[in-house]
Amino acid sequence: MATAPSPRFRFGRSEVPARPGDSILAALARRGWPSLARSIRYHRPRGPACGVGQCTGCLVRVNGVPNVRSCQHPVHDGDVVRPENSWPGPRFDLLGALDLLLPNGVDTVHGLRRPSRAAPLYQWFGRRLAGFGRVPDRSATTPRGSALALTAGITVVGAGRSGRSVAEALARSGQRPLVVERRTAANAARGPASIEGVDLLPGTTATFLDPPRAGESSEFTLLGIDSGDRAILVRTTTVVVATGAYDGSLLFEGSDRPGVITADLALSGIDLPLGKVVVVGGGARALAVVERLSGGVGAVVAFGEIGPEVVRAASERNIPLYPRSRVVRSVGRSHVRALELSRRDGGGTFRLPCRTVVLAHRRLPNAQLAFQGGARRRWHDGPAAYFPEIDALGRTSVPGIFAVGSAAAPGDLGGPAAEQAAAAVLDPTLAAAPRPASGAPGELVPYYRELLQEPRRGKWVLCPCEDVLLEELEAATARGYRGIELGMRYTGVGTGLCQGRYCLPEAIVLLSILEGREPTEVGHVTQRPPLVPTSLGSLATLRDELASGGGP
Amino acid sequence: MTPERTDYRAVVVGAGVLGLYTAYHLAKAGERRVLVVDRGRLSAGGSGRNGGGVRQQWETRSTIRLSREAVAAYRRFDREFGHNIWFRQGGYLFLAGSPGELERLSRVRNAGRAEGLPVRLVGEGEVARLVDGIAPGACLGACYLASDGTLYPYPVLWGLYEAVRALGVEVALGVEALEVLRDDRGALSGVLTSSGRVSSPTVVNAAGGWSGEFSRRCGLAVRNTATRHEILATEPVKAFLEPMVVRVSDGLYFSQSMRGELVGGLSVPHLPGTEAGVPSSPRFVSAMASALVGLLPRLSGLGVLRAWAGFYDDTPDGLPVIGEDPRLPGFVHANGFGGHGFMLAPSASRRVAAAVLGEPVDLDPKEFSPARFLGPDSSPSAERLQLG
């Protein structure tokens, strides 16, 4: 293979070399743990947490455009990358004083209004604290090409194991499905470079699934965005959601501190200097992390028991295990130095020195696209999360939308078999039984039940995007604003730049405990389109394409 | 939630900003036997789905007066209700792209000036100062009033909800008003709700997007219709835009919220009726993006964070329906506010409460009464500045 020239980009004052295919974060990570920004409200340190384009810990300004996820943005030679929301910089930020001056946070619903004469001052200051990056530079208005418009009979979203299997099965049946995959071809080591017999659209994130509406259209409209910021429009009759799962977060004091990451980032291939690692979780994901990081892992802790495979893998590597332990807090200032835990059987608290905490306790379905298309949800106690309600063949409640793989069902159930799902895609009349819910009771509810009874100090940041604190959610409940919809509107939880991917699943569990109701009574939030921030410029290129499509 | 009593002095249908404010005025006037019912939860309808704009620039004198009073009420809201609604008076800027539009805006200016508001026509240069990065030649001039502004709608609802309950008003959420009840002489006697019957000599229809439907079910239709309007918000960025900007030609409007998001919409063909619910459409999102980037090219790289929709409750003459229905004494309309219920609620609800209490209402019935839609000739005046 011919070696492509190595691109270089500017970060702050330094010039950073990158390898071909690198994301900005991947290139920065080789130089050390990057400091990229401070949080919106209290200017707390923020760092990369997921590595898969879901969280907002790695946002940077690239070539005058704010809030770019550095883990997803491929390096182009000459890129100018800047940290955001900090002055003079993210390592030492003067506004970081706000975090110390406001140890209990600020009540924006009732506070900051007296005396009335000061209101314009609060507003002036608040508007400068709010936001994340600055508005794009005037010079950042690059001309855009036209959108890509496609028509497909069957569209498979996601080319991971399940999506690929379904696509291949469809191809064997003589179909030629369109496969939309978020990973780029440059990441071919981890993503598919090609699949036999299908049209593959790599580097493309599906962001908006608009179902057919009577009298308007007979097809789904699927919008996407590719890594070059080009808008993609797909008109299709069938959508197979194979978007996989992601690792959820966990709330404790300092859970937003840089160095607390999810297993997704630990397994992403981004070469961060993780140092000594504490893994939280005792199941399959924890096993994957232990096997990958091996000697770097200093301990495995779990709220409940630790699974036998993890025990075996850990003992082979002389890794100590701490089952039945609850995370109390992370210790450190701008980065984790230790994790403090308490033994649930009454042994008191203890500290594990570490530089990285890997959360590997919970997999959440990445099924927002199916929900946006109108698919009904089903609550599963095991992972404490909503999944699409599907039958044994992967059919959701919306004709034409299928869900397969880990986006469709918790790990202990497994998704529908690819061959069967493909058969159902081709023949809607196939009969199938409904699927049971996951029976295993999860550990998250007892975890949070204990947590809510503990005395608290410091900030417990439920939503790291908007710095919403646990206390604010409790205040909403105490004042009678029940349910996740009102909790979200009262506190702002779930309304930040990650669209609630990390905080809403926690908030639903927390509210069910605070309100003394079932999670399904607390409700759910359907993520509004687009699923990831999609540039106005790229969406604008779709106007003519969409204007021609029937009624209003 | 089920109503605690069976007899009330007034039942308000709709726990949006209009309904809650009406209940508040009733309770403040001493009438606490008030029940507010809503089939949804708080903030589920238009009151939780709007962009928070509050302006005083209009074509009709009566609307200007109502909105001036509303601005004054929102200015003192934090003292009255103990909630910070972040009412920021950053101005409203109406952009004209043609001599005809400029002429129209000069009438808006004159109407405002006649009421003592310092509305100004500003040139392209000042527009460029107020809207950093506006495309050259994007407008000929604009109409501007610095004391218009934007607020954060949710705390308005929280403040009202807590205040009316503290005053003894009952708010039954999840209870749907199905139709009005009449006694054997045909007079209004109460409301049939999804939780049973309640008796009341007065009923206020403040059901927003669903008010036309409720009036029809009661056999008291006026000519308001619900239409779905869409809106979007961008990623939050640092403050760079002070005023709400409205373009006359296509109804593009946007402002930057306290959170830093650009929030706005566009007059594209909207879907009639409430049946389709409130999904967003790719068509709106792309049309809005195209309009925004055309006016402010620097926004091209800014991401859309979310899009949503709500219902406008439109009337043919653009004026709301406020007052007792002549066909059924005791049935009071508080609807037809188009997209402007939030901005007129504090003052309009005062008149609604007066109508409930049988007190004189200082509004011209020819402009606001439901009776204007019942005769052969419809209203003499109309408010056509249905933008933003």
Give A274-295 pLDDT, tens digit per residue. Answer: 999 999 999 999 999 999 998 8
Query: Rounded to whole angstroms, how far apart are CA atoms A39 and A85?
Result: 7
Tell me which DSSP letter residue A12 carries. T
- Let me know if domain B88-147+227-312 sits in CATH 3.30.9.10: yes
Across the interface, of B87, B290, B299, the residue whose CB is closest to A136 is B299
**pLDDT tops 60 at residue A186:** no
Task: Return all residues near B88 (Cβ < 8 A) that are at least 6 apart.
Answer: A120, A123, A127, B149, B150, B151, B258
CB contact under 8 A, A546 and B282: yes
Kindly list the distances between the CA atom of residue B9 and the CA atoms of A444, B27, B30, B181, B182, in Å, as whole numbers in the listed order: 49, 11, 11, 14, 15
CATH number, domain containing residue A129 = 3.10.20.440
Predicted confidence band of residue B379 (pLDDT cuts 50, 70, 90) = low
Domain B1-87+148-224+315-388 = CATH 3.50.50.60: yes
Give the residue among B74, B79, B67 at the shortest CA–CA distance from B348.
Answer: B67
**pLDDT given for residue A1 in this prediction:** 47
Q: What is the pLDDT of residue A217?
A: 78
- Of residues A410 and B276, more confidently modeled: A410
Q: Are residues A48 and A71 in the same domain?
A: yes
For the residues of A191-245, what is the DSSP string, one character each? S-S--TTSEEETTEEEEEEE---TTT-SSEEEEEEETTS-EEEEEEEEEEE---E
Residue B72 forms contact with A (CB below 8 Å) = no
Please report which confidence band the pLDDT of residue A3 belongs to, taking 50, 70 and 90 as the band edges: low
**Tokens 């309808």 -> residue:** B45
CA distance A366 to A247: 10
| Tens of pLDDT, residues A419-471 | 899 999 999 889 888 787 766 778 899 999 999 998 888 899 999 999 999 99
User: Distance (Å, rounded) from C-alpha A287 to C-alpha A306?
Assistant: 10
Question: Is 70 exceeded by the pLDDT of residue A143?
Answer: no
Is residue A349 located within the same domain as residue A381?
no
Residue A526 is assigned to a structural domain of this protein = no
Question: One-letter amino acid identity for A475?
Answer: A
pLDDT of residue B273: 75
Among candidates B154, B282, B304 on the partner chain, residue whose Cβ is nearest the Cβ of A533: B304
**A4: confidence class by pLDDT, cuts 50, 70, 90:** low
Q: For residue A242, what is the domain's CATH number?
A: 3.50.50.60
Q: Are residues A236 and A369 in the same domain?
A: yes
Per-position b or e across B100-129, b if 16+ CB within 10 A of its CB = ebbebbeebbebbeeeebebebbebeebee
B230 in the Ramachandran plot: left (φ > 0), alpha (ψ -120 to 50) or beta? beta
| Domain end residue (candidates: A87, A111, A137) | A137
On whether the CB atoms of residues A510 and A444 are closer than 8 A, the answer is no
A132, A269: one domain: no
Which distant-in-sequence residues (6+ apart) come within 8 Å of A252 by Cβ?
A327, A328, A329, A330, A451, A460
Q: How far is A536 from chain B (nearest CA, A)?
A: 5
DSSP helix, strand, coil percent of chain A (3-state; round to 5)? 25, 25, 50
**Which positions in chain A touch B280 (Cβ < 8 Å)?**
208, 210, 528-529
- Interface confidence, given as ipTM, is 0.95
Largest Cα separation within chain B, whole Å, is 68
Q: Which A residues in the span 497-536 are in contact with B, Cβ-Cβ below 8 Å?
A: 497, 499, 527-530, 532-536
Residue B3 binned pLDDT confidence (cut-offs 50, 70, 90): confident
3-state secondary structure of A55: coil
> What residues in B contact A69, CB-CB < 8 Å?
none
**Residue B100 at interface with chain A, using a CB cutoff of 8 Å:** no
The HSE-up count of residue B28 (CA atoms within 13 Å, CB side) is 14
State the pLDDT confidence band at B26, using cuts at 50, 70 and 90.
very high
Contacts of A497 in chain B (CB under 8 A): 235-236, 305
**For the segment A238-250, what is each residue's pLDDT rounded down to a tens digit?**
999 999 999 999 9
| A536·B300 Cβ contact <8 A | yes
User: In this structure, is residue A450 part of a structural domain?
Assistant: no
Antiparallel, parallel or unpaired: β A277-280 and A297-301: parallel
Considering the domain architecture, whether residues A314 and A211 belong to the same structural domain is answered as no
A110 and A65, same structural domain? yes
- In this prediction, residue B378 carries a pLDDT of 58
In a domain, A372, yes or no: yes
**Cβ contact (<8 Å) for A552 and B271?**
yes
The C-alpha angle B246, B247, B252, rounded to 5 degrees, equals: 75
CA distance A28 to chain B (A): 23
As a whole number, mean pLDDT of residues A85-100 equals: 94
Report the sign of the C-alpha dihedral through residues A203, A241, A57, A26, in that order: negative
Give the residue extent of every domain in chain B.
Answer: 1-87+148-224+315-388, 88-147+227-312
pLDDT of residue A551: 42
DSSP string, A428-442: TT---PBPPPP-S--
Q: How far is A210 from chain B (nearest CA, A)?
A: 7
Q: What is the pLDDT of residue A552?
A: 38
Closest by CA position to A483, among listed A447, A438, A454, A520: A520
On the CB side of A302, how many CA atoms lie within 13 Å of its CA? 23
In this predicted structure, the answer to whether residue B37 has a pLDDT above a threshold of 80 is yes
* CA proximity to A245, closest of A155, A177, A161, A357: A161
Domain co-membership, A382 together with A317: no
Q: How many domains, in total, are found in chain A? A: 3
Q: Based on the fold, state whether residues A325 and A386 are members of the same structural domain.
A: no
Domain assignment of residue A436, yes or no: no
> Are A81 and A199 within one domain?
no
What b/e sequence results for B140-151 when a residue is b if at least 16 CB atoms lie within 10 Å of its CB, and e otherwise?
Answer: bbbbbbbbbbbb
Which residues share a beta bridge with A469?
A: A461
Domain span at A279: 265-361
List of chain B residues whose C-beta atoms are within 8 Å of the C-beta of residue A540:
286, 289-290, 292-294, 300
Q: What is the mean pLDDT of residues A406-413?
A: 88
Residue A275 and residue A242 share a domain: no
Last residue of a domain, one of A361, A378, A399: A361
A24 and A173 in a single domain? The answer is: no
pLDDT score at A439: 64
User: What pLDDT is recorded for position A192?
Assistant: 55
- What percentage of chain A reaches a pLDDT higher than 70? 96
A361, A385, A411 — which closes off a domain?
A361
- C-alpha distances in Å from residue B222, one per residue of A436, B217, B370, B372: 50, 11, 7, 9
Residue A217: is it exposed, middle or buried by C-beta count within 10 angstroms (0-12/13-18/19+)? middle
Note whether A98 and A105 are within 8 A (CB): no
How much of chain B exceeds pLDDT 90, in percent? 91
Could you read off the pLDDT of A313-348 as tens digits, one per residue? 999 999 999 999 999 999 999 999 999 999 998 889
Structure tokens belonging to residue A165: 């299997």
Q: Does residue A364 register a pLDDT over 60?
A: yes
Contact B258, A126 (CB under 8 A): yes
Tell me the chain B residues in contact with residue A128 when contact means C-beta distances shorter than 8 Å: 238-239
Identify the pLDDT of residue A21: 87
Q: Tell me the percentage of chain A whose pLDDT exceeds 90.
A: 82
- In the numeric block, the tokens 């469709």 are attached to A408
Contact B86 A131 (CB under 8 A): no
Instruction: Flag if A123 and B43 touch (Cβ within 8 Å).
Output: no
On whether both A154 and A131 belong to a single domain, the answer is: no
Cβ of residue B83 closer than 8 Å to a chain A Cβ: yes
If pLDDT is split at 50, 70 and 90, which confidence band does A412 have?
confident
Say yes or no for a CB contact (<8 Å) between B305 and A497. yes
Q: Please compute the mean of the pLDDT values over residues A89-111 and round it to a whole number.
A: 94
Mean pLDDT rounded to a whole number for chain A: 92
pLDDT score for B165: 98
- Asked if the structure places residue A290 within a domain, the reply is yes
